[in-house]
């Protein structure tokens, strides 16, 4: 086909978040026209505050950039190899965050928006797609995300025959850096680890002794919280639990979670080990805003200010944004989607992002990336070959399309949102040994296995990219 004379029909992408933006970019890179539909600003959501595409509404972190010891770092590496727009813009707008890749959220979203607006094969339509897309849209990616509009969510539910599943993500507060008392707090990354753009002193740390910690836990549990009639049976995703929900699970839970005191030394009192530590991570390039790591919450606004100012160093904290809740909707993907992310009930519709049951910024963008490639290849008549399950993106895709669909112990079905992790990778027959020939054990063995899985993924991804190159 002479594409200059007979250009392929466009692919339609619904949703201009991380997944939709990445999908549109990948489709255009393949030489296929794409129409990107974004309902903002005509229809707002509970969580967005700008009109930018790929706006980050929760954390500003893309998590670990360690490709040898962390599965999300492997996913970063694979996305860069596929010329991901999201990773390119994240790298260009990174802020110090220890071993993590964190970004200036406004600069990041502005750069994604500018790149998509400048691409001649991408048409951006600021409109809501209410209900199912028109029948003549024969190649569609639904990347409407956790904040899918009610009309579209209802139509998808009716088409799949599945009752809508919803859970709630809680957003962490952001603090003005100048309001933090650095006579009590200090700068340090856990174990002094320096990540991309970082120095090893990239987090502000606030220490709590036992009495302060206990009082803080009491206040968290007792504080007034947002109440919704439908929340009682709604499963929270464990990776984004509200901090007060964690506290209710046990008084020591936070000390072993986001407030763990390990790998940090208080220079103001180095001989005393804190009972717990609250970390704040830089949220913008100027370093004027810091977000409270792991402090997603459904506390009412007034209670948030009162309770969080109990933390040493935050007594006079000024909040640029308080925490809140937003709705998430996701499909029972292993049952309703095929291996190419197409809806079994209507295969012109392909899904991407958090609505498929992945969790996290990077994972959402990665699923958008692979959905975009698949949609473009279909449009060009080339068919699709999924990435190997030994790769991070392949393992994530396999979880989404081949995860559990049966109930466990007569309870709800077991398919739940998931971050990428090495547990999703096919295991290896592997007996790691040290240079002197001794068998490794404990943490050394675990690290060696992760490295081996990463190296296998790198080789298999390179081979797959070569075999599927346009």
How far is the C-alpha of 255 from the C-alpha of 278, rounded, in Å?
A: 10
pLDDT at 326: 67
For residue 239, the SS3 value is: helix
Mean pLDDT of 431-441: 75
Return all residues near 408 (Cβ < 8 A) that are at least 6 apart.
414
Q: Give the closest residue to 352 by CA, choosing from 7, 9, 16.
A: 16
Cα distances (Å, whole numbers) of residue 187 to 105, 173, 205, 206 = 21, 19, 6, 9
For residue 109, the SS3 value is: helix
pLDDT at 309: 98
Encode pLDDT of 12-56 as tens digits: 999 999 999 999 999 999 999 999 999 887 676 666 678 899 999
pLDDT at 6: 63
The four Cα atoms 389, 395, 400, 403 give a dihedral, to 10 degrees, of 80
CB neighbours (10 Å) of residue 161? 9
For residue 283, the SS3 value is: coil
pLDDT band, very low/low/confident/very high, at 231 (cuts 50, 70, 90): very low
Mean pLDDT of 434-438: 75
pLDDT at 429: 81
Encode pLDDT of 60-117 as tens digits: 999 999 999 999 999 999 999 999 999 999 999 999 998 899 999 999 999 999 999 9
Q: Give the closest residue to 18 by CA, choosing from 204, 147, 149.
A: 147
pLDDT at 233: 52
95: left (phi over 0), alpha (psi -120 to 50) or beta: beta
Total residues belonging to the chain: 470
Q: pTM (2 decimals)?
A: 0.81
Q: Give the closest residue to 455 by CA, choosing from 64, 69, 83.
A: 69
Encode pLDDT of 301-329 as tens digits: 999 999 999 999 999 999 988 887 766 77
Higher-pLDDT residue of 115 and 152 is 115
Helix axes 18-29, 105-118, angle to 10 degrees: 30
Per the listing, tokens 């990948």 go with: 26
pLDDT at 408: 40
Q: Which token pair is 441?
A: 């054990």
Encode pLDDT of 198-214 as tens digits: 788 899 999 999 999 99
Q: Is the pLDDT of residue 463 over 50?
A: yes
Mean pLDDT of 113-141: 95
Instruction: Quote the Cα angle for 82-67-293, to 5°.
Output: 105
Question: What does DSSP say about strands 203-208 and 186-187: parallel, antiparallel, or unpaired?
Answer: antiparallel
Encode pLDDT of 347-374 as tens digits: 999 999 999 988 889 999 999 999 999 9
Return all residues near 132 (Cβ < 8 A) that are at least 6 apart.
152, 155, 156, 159, 349
For residue 346, the SS3 value is: strand
Q: Which token pair is 251?
A: 């008084």
Q: Give the closest residue to 58 by CA, choosing from 239, 212, 275.
A: 239
DSSP state of 237: P
Rounded to 5 degrees, φ, ψ at 463 are -65, -40
How far is the C-alpha of 71 from the C-alpha of 365, rounded, in Å?
A: 15
pLDDT at 389: 93
Helix axes 18-29, 85-92, angle to 10 degrees: 110
Rounded to 5 degrees, φ, ψ at 22 are -65, -40
pLDDT at 78: 98
Mean pLDDT of 322-343: 85
DSSP state of 35: E
pLDDT at 411: 42
Burial tier of 257 (Cβ tally within 10 Å: 0-12, 13-18, 19+):
middle
> Helix/strand/coil (H, E, C) string of 367-398?
HHHHHHHHHHHHHCCCCCCCCCCCCHHHHHHH
Q: Which token pair is 469?
A: 């190159």
DSSP labels for 183-214?
A: TT-EE--GGG---TT--S--EEEEEE-HHHHH
**C-alpha atoms less than 13 angstroms from C-alpha of 355 in its C-beta half-sphere:** 30
Beta strands in 93-228 (DSSP E): 94-95, 100-103, 122-126, 140-142, 165-171, 174-176, 186-187, 203-208
Q: Which token pair is 8?
A: 């392929």
pLDDT at 410: 44
Under 8 Å between Cβ of 308 and 291: no
Q: Express as a percent the part of the chain with pLDDT over 90.
A: 61
How far is the C-alpha of 235 from the C-alpha of 231, rounded, in Å?
A: 8
Under 8 Å between Cβ of 357 and 400: yes
Encode pLDDT of 43-53 as tens digits: 766 666 788 99
pLDDT at 228: 61
CB neighbours (10 Å) of residue 282? 26
Under 8 Å between Cβ of 224 and 303: yes
Q: Is the pLDDT of residue 7 over 70?
A: yes
Sign of the alpha-carbon torsion through 203, 64, 94, 284: negative
């Amino acid at each position: 086909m002479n594409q200059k004379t007979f250009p392929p029909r466009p692919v339609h992408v619904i949703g201009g978040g991380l997944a939709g933006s990445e999908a549109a970019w990948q489709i255009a890179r393949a030489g296929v026209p794409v129409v990107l539909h974004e309902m903002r600003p005509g229809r707002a959501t509970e969580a967005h505050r700008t009109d930018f595409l790929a706006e980050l509404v929760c954390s500003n972190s893309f998590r670990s950039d360690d490709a040898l010891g962390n599965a999300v770092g492997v996913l970063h590496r694979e996305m860069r190899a596929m010329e991901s727009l999201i990773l390119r813009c994240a790298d260009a707008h990174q802020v110090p965050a220890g071993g993590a890749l964190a970004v200036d959220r406004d600069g990041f979203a502005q750069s994604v928006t500018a790149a998509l607006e400048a691409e001649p094969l991408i048409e951006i339509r600021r409109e809501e797609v209410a209900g199912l897309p028109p029948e003549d849209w024969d190649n569609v990616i639904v990347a409407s995300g956790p904040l899918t509009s009610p009309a579209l969510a209802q139509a998808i539910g009716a088409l799949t025959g599945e009752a809508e599943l919803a859970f709630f993500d809680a957003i962490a507060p952001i603090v003005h850096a100048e309001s933090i008392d650095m006579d009590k707090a200090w700068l340090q990354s856990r174990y002094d680890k320096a990540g991309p753009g970082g120095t090893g002193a990239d987090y502000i740390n606030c220490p709590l002794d036992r009495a302060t910690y206990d009082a803080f836990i009491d206040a968290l549990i007792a504080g007034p919280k947002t109440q919704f009639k439908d929340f009682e049976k709604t499963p929270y995703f464990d990776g984004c639990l509200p901090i007060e929900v964690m506290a209710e699970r046990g008084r020591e839970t936070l000390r072993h979670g986001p407030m763990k005191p390990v790998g940090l030394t208080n220079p103001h009192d180095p001989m005393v080990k804190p009972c717990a530590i609250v970390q704040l991570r830089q949220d913008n390039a100027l370093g004027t805003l810091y977000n409270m790591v792991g402090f997603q919450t459904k506390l009412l606004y007034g209670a948030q200010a009162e309770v969080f100012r109990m933390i040493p160093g935050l007594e006079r904290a000024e909040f640029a944004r308080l925490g809140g809740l937003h709705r998430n909707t996701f499909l029972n993907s292993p049952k309703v989607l095929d291996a190419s992310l197409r809806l079994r009930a209507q295969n012109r519709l392909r899904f991407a992002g958090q609505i498929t049951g992945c969790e996290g910024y990077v994972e959402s963008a990665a699923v958008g990336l692979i959905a975009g490639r698949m949609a473009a290849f279909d449009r060009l008549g080339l068919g699709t070959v999924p990435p190997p399950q030994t790769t991070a993106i392949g393992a994530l895709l396999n979880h989404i399309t081949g995860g559990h669909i049966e109930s466990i112990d007569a309870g709800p079905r077991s398919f739940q949102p998931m971050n990428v992790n090495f547990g999703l990778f096919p295991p290896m027959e592997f007996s790691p040994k040290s240079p002197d020939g001794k068998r490794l054990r404990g943490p050394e063995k675990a690290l060696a296995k992760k490295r081996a899985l990463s190296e296998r993924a790198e080789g298999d991804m390179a081979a797959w990219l070569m075999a599927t190159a346009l």
